[in-house]
Amino acid sequence: MDSNNINYKEEVLKAGLIMAGVSIIMTMLIYVINIELMVSWWFGLMSLTLSMGIAIYLGISYRNLCGGFLSYKESLKFSFFAFLVSYAVGIVFNILLYTVIDPGLPEVMKDLTMEATIGMMESFGTPQEVIDASMVEIENSVMESTSPAGILKSSPWGVLIIFIFAVIASIFIKKNEPISDRIN
């Protein structure tokens, strides 16, 4: 297909919405199955791996749509904007999740995070005074990170992180046109 016939904005939006949709579905499945899994380290790792895989797949699909070749710059631009759309939808979803769908979820997540942290710190032989001091910080951190203001306040860091993801994904998406050494 000729790259002139491709609506770039539509392709970016479609890729971002697919990535956001998969993330939302996965989060809601974990929420329904077992909320405790939402604070586990492997869920975060699985989410990251799945998001990266989907971004690479959608980037390669876009590259193929453009004729099979895409420079690193163009693949970075495409993947960054797709991640950005997904991130924006994710922010809206998280605000809805913590304020409308289940306003009690931040408290549950705080309790689960504190439980897991206490268990880990005790297994390392951390003194009780240090554990107690850490719990106040963790409680404040979890409650802030699940509030609408806290979610929005962390957005600039999130944009930096998705840029890093886009840089990595673009390595796998790019494909330069072969250069012929033949002289005409």
* 179 φ/ψ sector (left φ>0, alpha ψ -120 to 50, else beta): beta
Residue 180 lies in a domain: no
Whole-number pLDDT of residue 136: 84
Contact 177, 137 (CB under 8 A): no
In the three-class reduction of DSSP (H, G, I as helix; E, B as strand; rest coil), residue 81 is classed as helix
How many domains, in total, are found in the chain? 1
Residue 37 lies in a domain: yes
Q: Spell out the per-residue pLDDT of the chain, length 184, in tens.
A: 445 678 999 999 999 999 999 999 999 999 999 988 888 888 889 999 999 999 999 999 999 999 999 999 999 999 999 999 999 999 999 999 999 999 999 999 888 888 888 888 888 888 888 888 888 888 888 888 888 888 888 889 999 999 999 999 999 999 988 887 666 5
142 φ, ψ (degrees, to nearest 5): -65, -45
Residue 22 lies in a domain: yes
Residue 103 lies in a domain: yes
What is the Cα–Cα distance from 86 to 88, expressed in whole angstroms? 6
111-115-159 Cα angle (round to 5): 65
Residue 77 lies in a domain: yes
Q: Give the distance from CA 132 to its chain's centroid.
A: 31
Whole-number pLDDT of residue 43: 86
What is the Cα–Cα distance from 21 to 11, expressed in whole angstroms? 15
Residue 178 lies in a domain: no
The pTM score is 0.85
Neighbours of 166 (CB within 10 A): 23
Residue 55 lies in a domain: yes
Burial of 79 (0-12, 13-18, 19+ CB in 10 A): buried
Residue 184 lies in a domain: no
Which residue range forms the structural domain that includes residue 40? Answer: 3-173
> Nearest CA to 168 among 48, 67, 71, 56?
56
Contact 109, 145 (CB under 8 A): no
